[in-house]
Structure 1
Amino acid sequence: MKGNPDKVIGRFFTETLQARREWHDILHVMKGKNLQPRLLYPARLSFRFEGEIKSFTDKQKLREFSNTKPTLQQILKELIWAEKKRPQPETKIPQMTRLTSKDIYIVKR
């Protein structure tokens, strides 16, 4: 192995975490449909469909495949609906609490 082994392992770990984040919602829905999804390295989604193991490296290829399979199209529609329904995180304004001899108050920035 060339280079620093710690850097290689770190890069592997970082890429794996990023891939898991990107595929998280799809994995969750597929698990609910008992499709036995797996996330393989490097960043491939694998699942059992109609008795065969299917493997995809990106969401676009999964979409293209699902266009030929009505069952998978329905799963992806459910996923899109769930993503739209999920509340978006709010951006919070940092606050500071100040303690005075008389009172506690919050300073908004």
Structure 2
Amino acid sequence: MNHYEPDQLSNISVEALDETRSKIRYRVMSETLYYCPGADAERTDGELRLSFVRCPINKKCSVTHAAERDASGENTIVVDNGGGPIVIVSEHGRRQIHP
């Protein structure tokens, strides 16, 4: 499965909903043949690692955290961060987005 690189995501914001849950808003680069259905999450070494899925438009890709897309093109997912760091990971890089 393909994933977006951390630098292919923009306008990332993290809002704490409570002590363990966070709302993540983001935008993916515009593409005509792919979309982002959400992210897969894995907790490793005390941090939540998110991989944002890059899915062909003619397929349905399953994710652990489905995104909701608003009219402006921004996506939102809600994650249980366990109070630890949140990191975007891909095959070629990583980017910590919280704290």
Q: TM-score range by the shorter chain?
A: under 0.3
TM-score, normalised by the number of residues in structure 1: 0.25
TM-score, normalised by the number of residues in structure 2: 0.27
Relative to its length, the structure with more helix (as a share) is: 1
Relative to its length, the structure with more strand (as a share) is: 2
Q: Between Structure 1 and Structure 2, whose CA radius of gyration is higher?
A: 1
